[in-house]
Amino acid sequence: MLSFKDIRQGLLVALWFIFLTFPLLVIKINPIENSVNWRWLNMVYVGSFSFLIYLITRMVMARKLERQKKIKLGLVKEKVAWSIKLFSQPRLYLPLLAAVAVFFLLFPGLFSTYQVNIMITALMYVVLGLGLNIVVGVAGLLDLGYVAFYAVGAYTYALLNMHFGLGFWTVLPIGGVLGAIFGILLGIPVLRLRGDYLAIVTLGFGEIIRLILENWSSFSHGPSGISNISRPGFFGIELSLEMSIVYMYYLTVLMVLFTIFVVNRLQDSRIGRAWFALKEDEIACQAMGIDKMKTKLTAFSLGATWAGMAGVMFAAKTTFINPASFTFLESAIILCIVVLGGMGSIVGVIVGALVLILMPEYLRAFSDYRMLAFGAILVVMMIFRPQGIIATLRRTYTVKGDLE
């Protein structure tokens, strides 16, 4: 299957990588002895590794092309994706769903507080991912400053709690509403832009919010942040630390369920269809009588609402926040969750969040290589499965009566 040309190309790729990594991995200068330590073995590793990787990619790609050709010629049927097979048969997915539900219900009883804490974080990212999914995955608006709304929510709770002693349950909706308001305020000027321009402006907005929080000390306590934020109240009963973590866990699970419910209903509605159509073709959408600005704005501000609520939960969970929690990296991670999981797919985003947040936690041994692995996974995914782990499927309708 591999031709001579592929092997020659592979050697070139290997050479290129050796050249790129040469100064870093081969030369090691010892400043004390004033000598250079040549690590030739590393060069061999880099060379053979990149050579092999290249050949494997070529093989996989060639096989994929072959398949596509055959499908075109009608020799083989297009494979139905496993995820579609799974979800089209209640017999298969109902037991799975039940197992997942039981697992999450019993989670705090089965695992240590440490694990529960990690799971809470992961579930919060599920909420964030689902929120951003409305904006990016469904409506196709590339928002790189999503974390700004998350920060708005978190600081809303922190400040209202500190100054006025307001509780979690009061502030949760306020955080959502403030997120929405910020979404609308930013959206009105910015949503006229398209694609990459929108991405840059939202990115800038995210940084502005973070810089304000960092520098407006009298308002936000600057880089040192706000501590001693109250945990969520439980009918006025004082909970032990452990119990309050378990409580927080169930709250987060509830929040995830609520989000799934709402996002699912939104997607399957007049508005949700309009969002998706807008992503497909703006001009055709307008010609169909859809108000472009209004529709984009609802998607954008609804996404921001969820970020705001997630922010409130985040502040309540950690009881301490500072601007360092709201860097661009956060936005990037949430975006990765959406893209990796599968744009527009609820299950995909959930799986994406769990994989991307839990994996690094349990691969702490390799913590030095975390970002490397992260990047590698994204690159590999985008090459081999650009539609994400679970691809979206449009709803089909059966109507009473017939389809002839």
Partner 1 sequence: MQPILNVQNLTMDFGGIRALDHLSLQVHSGEIVALIGPNGAGKTTFFNCITGIYKPTKGDLLLTPPGKKTKKLNGLKPNKVTEQGLARTFQNIRLFPNMTVLENVMIGRHCRTRSKIFGAIFRPPGTRREEEEIIQDSLDILKKIGLAQLANEYAKNLPYGAQRRLEIARALATNPFMLLLDEPAAGMNPQETLELDELITTIRDDGLAILLIEHDMKLVMNISDSIFVVDYGKKIAEGSPEEIAKNPAVIKAYLGEEIEHA
Cα distance between residue 321 and residue 155, in whole Å: 8
Secondary structure of the chain in the HEC alphabet?
CCCHHHHHHHHHHHHHHHHHHHHHHHEEEECCCCEEEECHHHHHHHHHHHHHHHHHHHHHHHHHHHHHHHHHHCCCCCCCCHHHHHHHCHHHHHHHHHHHHHHHHHHHHHCCHHHHHHHHHHHHHHHHHHHHHHHHHHCCCCCCCHHHHHHHHHHHHHHHHHHHCCCHHHHHHHHHHHHHHHHHHHHHHHCCCCHHHHHHHHHHHHHHHHHHHHHCHHHHCHHHCECCCCCCCECCECCCHHHHHHHHHHHHHHHHHHHHHHHHHHHCCHHHHHHHHHHHCHHHHHHCCCCHHHHHHHHHHHHHHHHHHHHHHHHHHHCCECHHHHCHHHHHHHHHHHHHHCCCCHHHHHHHHHHHHHHHHHCHHHHHHHHHHHHHHHHHHHHHCCCCCCCCCCCCCCCCCCCC
Binding to partner 1 by residue 302, rule CB under 8 A? yes
Binding to partner 1 by residue 292, rule CB under 8 A? yes
For the chain, the distance separating the N- and C-terminal CA atoms, rounded to the nearest angstrom, is 47
With CB under 8 A as the contact rule, the residue among 134, 274, 333, 353 that binds partner 1 is 274
Binding to partner 1 by residue 73, rule CB under 8 A? no
**Among 4-12, 53-61, 109-117, 269-277, which window interacts with partner 1 (CB under 8 A)?**
269-277
Binding to partner 1 by residue 178, rule CB under 8 A? no
In angstroms, give the least distance from the CB of 121 to partner 1: 27
With CB under 8 A as the contact rule, the residue among 62, 81, 142, 277 that binds partner 1 is 277
With CB under 8 A as the contact rule, the residue among 18, 138, 290, 304 that binds partner 1 is 290
In angstroms, give the least distance from the CB of 68 to partner 1: 15
With CB under 8 A as the contact rule, the residue among 91, 289, 365, 368 that binds partner 1 is 289
Q: Which residue, 31 or 401, has its beta carbon nearer to partner 1?
A: 401
Binding to partner 1 by residue 239, rule CB under 8 A? no
Binding to partner 1 by residue 40, rule CB under 8 A? no
With CB under 8 A as the contact rule, the residue among 126, 144, 191, 271 that binds partner 1 is 271
Binding to partner 1 by residue 403, rule CB under 8 A? yes
Binding to partner 1 by residue 284, rule CB under 8 A? yes
In angstroms, give the least distance from the CB of 389 to partner 1: 18
With CB under 8 A as the contact rule, the residue among 37, 88, 269, 367 that binds partner 1 is 269
In angstroms, give the least distance from the CB of 253 to partner 1: 20
With CB under 8 A as the contact rule, the residue among 67, 273, 370, 385 that binds partner 1 is 273
**Among 94-102, 270-278, 314-322, 349-357, which window interacts with partner 1 (CB under 8 A)?**
270-278
With CB under 8 A as the contact rule, the residue among 280, 366, 372, 380 that binds partner 1 is 280
**Among 90-98, 200-208, 261-269, 334-342, which window interacts with partner 1 (CB under 8 A)?**
261-269
Cα distance between residue 310 and residue 354, in whole Å: 16
Q: Which residue, 165 or 289, has its beta carbon nearer to partner 1?
A: 289
Binding site for partner 1 (CB under 8 A): 262, 265-266, 269-274, 276-277, 280-281, 283-292, 298, 302, 394-397, 399, 401, 403-404
